[in-house]
Amino acid sequence: MPVNLTAPLAADLHPVAGLSIGTAMAGIRKANRRDVVVFQLAEGSAVAGVFTQNRFCAAPVQVCREHLTANVGIRALVVNTGNANAGTGDDGLVRARTTCIALAQQLDLAPEQVLPFSTGVIMEVLPVDRLIAGLPAALADAAPDRWLEAAQGIMTTDTLPKAASRQFDIEGHRVTVTGIAKGAGMIRPNMATMLGFVATDAVIDAGLLQTLVREAADASFNRITIDGDTSTNDSFVLMATQQAGHAPIRVLDSSAGRALRDAVFAVSEQLAQAIVRDGEGATKFITVQVDGGRSVEECRLAAYAIAHSPLVKTAFFASDPNLGRILAAVGYAGIGDLDPALIELHLDDVQVVRKGGRHPDYREADGQRVMKQAEITVRVGLGRGGAQATVWTCDLSHDYVSINADYRS
């Protein structure tokens, strides 16, 4: 059961001028489900992306990097679910390229103008014939208002589609930012989530867009974890169709740049949090905030140690304030000269630990009250500096085990 997450309404997802989306049921893995999505971008659009740091990155990720480097103007994205085309060696690369060639032919583009994306089971052969056979239907379906169908078309173990949308004005011109993402396991993004696609009609060049997509990933998808497993296919793409009519954004630190950044950050954060809320087996949404560090990096180490600890996560599932497990995780996070006597721990408004030991006023009933909530903030003070970091995660439940034990069946 997702935590405080509902399916988006199609009416809330504003179309982005210059972008059309079509979906199809190609039978990649299962029949009668939307499993192919094609994005088409107007000529002159800018596209930027960040991709997984997993060395075993999937074939489509390798092809995406090549095609973005080729710099001939990306005009289409093709996404399939049901098969990750990862761990597939040279044959996987051929299949990803074949997909791009097939779509390019139908759209009268060069293959380097197409970006491919795959998600699903690893180390199985991508049924590229079925995927290509599904492309005409996806193209026939193309329209600007298909965001909800696209969100459905990229789901794997997600229980709900994930989409977000914002609008704001630049010089009297209405600007739209709309995006979709998917989870829901193998989630510990390292540069990007499993799959995230955000589009805007803002006028901004590709270089600045690359800066923005990286900043947005760091503020959103790079702050979440479900099971600590960094996927082979993580990809987060930001597209700008240049059609909003305002003067081009030349620097992000301008009034228009900040407005765009705020909207892209808001959409990205909402999508990233939606992935955690719909994390496999999740029953709680947990914000882990570590402050008082000497660097952001050490705060992140501590926050991820807490967020990855199976013992901490099962305690949250059980609503059991067995909070020493949080201290233990901070202790092994890898901060070599950490002084335990300076550690403070709050659970929402309840102070649990002061100076490295149980706070004298702490009562288990207070911890229990917070642990029973669906949304909990864990706040750890390291007491050694001014840096801070935040990570979002979920608990570890029986359903996580069931979902992942049965994933392929």
Subset of 261-320 contacting a second copy (CB under 8 A)? 308-311, 314-315, 317-318, 320
Q: Give the interface segment with a second copy, choosing from 137-145, 211-219, 229-237, 270-278 (CB under 8 A).
A: 229-237
For the CA atoms of 45, 51, 56, 61, what is the dihedral angle to 10 degrees?
Answer: -10
Least Å from the CB of residue 229 to a second copy: 5
Q: Candidates 44, 207, 248, 340: give the one binding a second copy (CB under 8 A).
A: 340
Specify which residues 114 forms β-bridges with: 76
Report the nearest approach of a second copy to the CB of residue 10 (Å). Answer: 33
Would you say 86 or 109 has its CB closer to a second copy?
Answer: 86
- The residue with tokens 């760091």 is 218
Stretch that binds a second copy, among 164-172, 266-274, 285-293, 322-330 (CB under 8 A): 322-330
Buried b / exposed e over 51-60, threshold 16 CB at 10 Å, is bbebeebbbb
Angle at 26 between CA 22 and CA 29, to 5 degrees: 130
CA distances for 254 relative to 83, 130, 262, angstroms: 42, 47, 12
Site string for a second copy, 108-127 (x = CB under 8 A): -------------xxxxx--
Q: What are phi and psi of 8, to 5 degrees?
A: -70, 155
C-alpha–C-alpha distance, residues 321 and 313, integer Å: 11
Catalytic residue, from 119, 178, 193, 241: name it: 193
Which residue is listed with tokens 């090549």?
66
- Which region, judged by CB under 8 A, interacts with a second copy, from 137-145, 155-163, 208-216, 321-329? 321-329
Q: For residues 44 and 357, which CB has a smaller minimum distance to a second copy in the complex?
A: 357
Residue from 27, 127, 144, 356 binding a second copy (CB under 8 A): 356
- Give how many residues touch a second copy by CB under 8 A: 71
Pick the binder of a second copy from 139, 210, 245, 407 (CB under 8 A). 407
Q: Which of residues 234-253 bind a second copy (CB under 8 A)?
A: none
Which x/- pattern over 39-78 shows residues binding a second copy (rule: CB under 8 A)?
--------------xxxxx---------------------
Compute the least distance from the CB of residue 307 to a second copy, in Å. Answer: 12
Q: Does 204 bind a second copy (CB under 8 A)?
A: no
Q: Active site includes 193?
A: yes
Q: Which residues contact 321 (CB under 8 A, 6 or more apart)?
A: 315, 347, 352, 364, 367, 368, 370, 371
User: Can you tell me which of 126, 353, 391, 394 binds a second copy, judged by CB under 8 A?
Assistant: 353
Q: Which of 1, 4, 70, 91 forms a contact with a second copy (CB under 8 A)? A: 91
What are residue 396's phi and psi, to 5 degrees? -115, 115
Of the listed pieces 12-20, 66-74, 291-299, 352-360, which binds a second copy according to CB under 8 A? Answer: 352-360
Our finding on whether 92 is near a second copy (CB under 8 A) is: yes
CA dist., res. 175 & res. 11, Å (int): 17
Q: Alpha carbon of 127 to those of 93, 124, 131: distances in Å? A: 13, 9, 6
Pick 190 or 211: Cβ nearer a second copy: 190
Is residue 156 near a second copy by the rule CB under 8 A? no
Of 9, 23, 1, 33, nearest to 162 by C-alpha is 9
Which phi and psi (to 5°) does residue 199 adopt?
A: -125, 150
| CA gyration radius, the chain | 22
Smaller CB distance to a second copy: residue 73 or 228? 228
324 makes contact with a second copy (CB under 8 A): yes
Nearest residue to 210 (alpha-carbon basis) of 194, 225, 192 = 192
Q: Which is nearer to a second copy, 57 or 350 (CB)?
A: 57
Active-site residue list: 193
